[in-house]
Structure 1
């Protein structure tokens, strides 16, 4: 009887969801699609717009954007144009896209507004409830890492404090929002990301070493690459056949000197890769290392799990929440702790196999479809 009642409640929930969805129209804006050609935030919104359930319509008044993901959203490929070369250095794309967003905001023909980043330009024009997604609180936790003229924290505070509801991408981010802004828990919904990587679709990367550890993304400040490099130098001295592969921005002269001082410059490789090539790197790595001091969610965790790549990562911020027991953790402030974890993965094949198996099981809890469904449930609270 209990099972029947539960299942019946689920059916009613889905039915009500569909009824409400038939009259729901969501408005997004241009911000992240003008700021990013690639990137996690624009990927998140593109996946969301693509996966809205039948009956939920959306508007996104973007005329000029070179974002790769937006061009793949049904209905958006023909609606927006790549930013022409002669406009790229000016403010014209920004002005055109903002004009269009303001016009629709003032018209009020939408049910919920979901801005795609933190610029609060819309506050004087929005006629309906709005929800803001907070991806992390890095600017607030590490203000010394950003220039004084960076207004992200100021803009974020204005957008968040005036929002009707807030989406946090992890419980950790939700806690940070509450601690920093003093916002009540009831106003914040946690909606996890999904992942987009297809482990079966890969493109080989030429010149790749036979055994390597993988590092993905930029390396500055809170990413903690320097301490990881120190730990890796210890591992390489013990296991000379293990090398390091990095993606993200190219190494600067200062970074190359640092790697040279550690005597790992000759065994460290950098690649600019496509998404299928990134899949190849994950698929063939000895492990993926994520030494960051702070993340709001950590999409590479799911990418590693999807590719059966053993995961070695920090024990800070959202990592234990998202990765659960599928990764091998270390203290990111302690070089010896990092090196010990790397050493365990290198020397214990059974451990690697167990990590891969756990990662597969954990990955089933995350999907973009689930993210879209739960986001629509947040929208429903506002209409």
Structure 2
């Protein structure tokens, strides 16, 4: 079987998000496990993220690239054109894209798309202006072109059905995995990382970009309440300042008068991120909307007790391994933060539960299930066509 992947997301200039982590780790596993598929990677002739570049190697793998011109729109169309030609000439039996934006303009056949959530579609509807409305309609139309959709939670599956109008028999749920690099370190290494990051007192960690769904304003205001009793506590916020409205976050911090107790970090390597998880005391992720929420899984794997929202996909992902809160209740969030920071017994409970829960997720398992989908919809077993999917089967509508 000849399988193509659009790896545009892995360019070094692209901010590392959950989508990027998903694409890199899934490809790494697929290329390592692959024994009988011919794989073509399509991208730009530019450096890839250093952490991911070495992943994209393996037997029966080739790379097809275009040289960038400096025009984003033109480069996008040229790359999509290269892929479309190979599809039209029968050089690919299947194309897998990691974002719906990479579906156009392509033939509407033999395409599998990963759709993590519908937040970008919903948030665009809330923005004013004809361009945003047109962009939303365009991206919804692209998502509907996929023959098969893979998503990362049952919550996202229901949202995709509701907001994108894609029938359930075309949507498969495959939870994200986690790298074995995310693990609890011994006390000596943890202490070294605390010294390196200059942590004093209780450290509350939050990781995520600065888009409104991350609920940063309520988190900061809840921290203000916590800091009234825990005088040495600090809040560490890690995120790419190019995503969302970092200036608004700074304004909220200044408004609370806590600038000296809130630290911002950006673009850490994976080893440093693991060290940061281990150096903190608790992890707080009060998001309003998540398709999956990789940071909560990373924190749990590192033995960090987690507080997260009882909304969207998060209860599905954490099970009973995290303290669940109403993300709109600042006082309730502050109470849970104080409670977890001051109770060693509660910390141990959620540390132990989190480590056990995280063992249920692996990128190898994700790759096995995705490869199973490829085989299910291969040219030999049933072409990837809309007609072939009009009769749903039990496997098609199940969680894989």
Query: Which residue is equivalent to 1:248?
Result: 239
- Confirm or deny: 8 A CA contact 1:63 1:79 kept in the other structure: no
Q: 1:198 aligns with which of 161, 171, 182?
A: 182
Residue 162 of structure 1: CA displacement?
Answer: 2.5
TM-score, normalization: structure 1? Answer: 0.84
Aligned residue in 2 for 1:331: 326
Unmatched segments (≥5 aa) in structure 1: 1-23
Is the 2:45–2:66 contact (alpha carbons within 8 Å) kept by the matching residues of 1? yes
Indicate if the aligned counterparts of 1:139 and 1:146 stay in contact, CA closer than 8 A: no
Q: Aligned in 2, Cα 1:144/1:275: closer, same or farther, shift over 3 Å?
A: same
Q: Decide whether aligned partners of structure 1 residues 305 and 123 sit closer, same or farther in structure 2, where only a CA change above 3 A counts.
A: same
Secondary structure of 2:6's match?
coil
Structure 1 equivalent of residue 53 of structure 2: 71
Match of 2:94 among 96, 112, 136: 112
Note if 1:261 corresponds to 2:261: no
Of 79, 99, 102, the residue aligned with 1:97 is: 79
Note the C-alpha offset of 1:125.
3.6
Moved over 6 A (4+): 80-84, 200-203
Structure 2: gaps spanning 5 or more residues:
379-400
The residue aligned with 1:33 is 10
| C-alpha RMSD over aligned residues | 2.8
1:319 matches 2:319: no
CA deviation vs aligned residue, 1:249-286 (integer Å, no higher than 9, x gap): 45955533422321211111112222222111110111
After superposition, residues 170-209 of structure 1 pair within 5 angstroms as: 170-196=153-179, 197-199=181-183, 204=193, 205-209=196-200
| Deviation at residue 361 of structure 1 after TM alignment | 1.1
CA distance in structure 2 between the aligned counterparts of 1:160 and 1:233, rounded to whole angstroms = 41
1:36 deviates by 2.2
Q: Measure, in 2, the Cα distance between the counterparts of 1:27 and 1:138.
A: 27
Q: Is it true that 1:366 corresponds to 2:344 in the alignment?
A: no
Instruction: Map residues 126-275 of structure 1 onto 2, 5 A cutoff.
Output: 128-143=109-124, 146=127, 148=129, 149-150=131-132, 153-196=136-179, 197-199=181-183, 204=193, 205-250=196-241, 252=246, 254-272=248-266, 273-275=268-270
Q: 1:80 to 1:104 in 2, by over 3 A?
A: closer
Q: Deviations over 1:21-53 (max 9, x none)?
A: xxx321112442357252321222222222123
From 342, 346, 354, the equivalent of 1:351 is 346
Question: Structure 2: how far apart are the matches of 1:124 and 1:263?
Answer: 52
TM-score (norm 2): 0.80
Residue 18 of structure 1 is matched in structure 2 by none
Distance of 2:285 and 2:366 partners within structure 1: 23
Change (3 A) 1:193 1:208: same
| Cα deviation digits, residues 164-223 of structure 1 (max 9, x gap) | 211111000001112223433222110011112433688844333342100112223111
Report if the CA contact (8 A) 1:301-1:311 is conserved.
yes
**33-42 vs 180-189, which moves further:** 33-42
Instruction: Provide closer, same or farther for how the CA distance between residues 26 and 81 of structure 1 changes in structure 2, counting only shifts above 3 A.
Output: closer
**Shift of residue 334, structure 1, vs aligned partner:** 0.9
Instruction: State the match for 1:7 in structure 2.
Output: none
Q: How many residues align?
A: 357
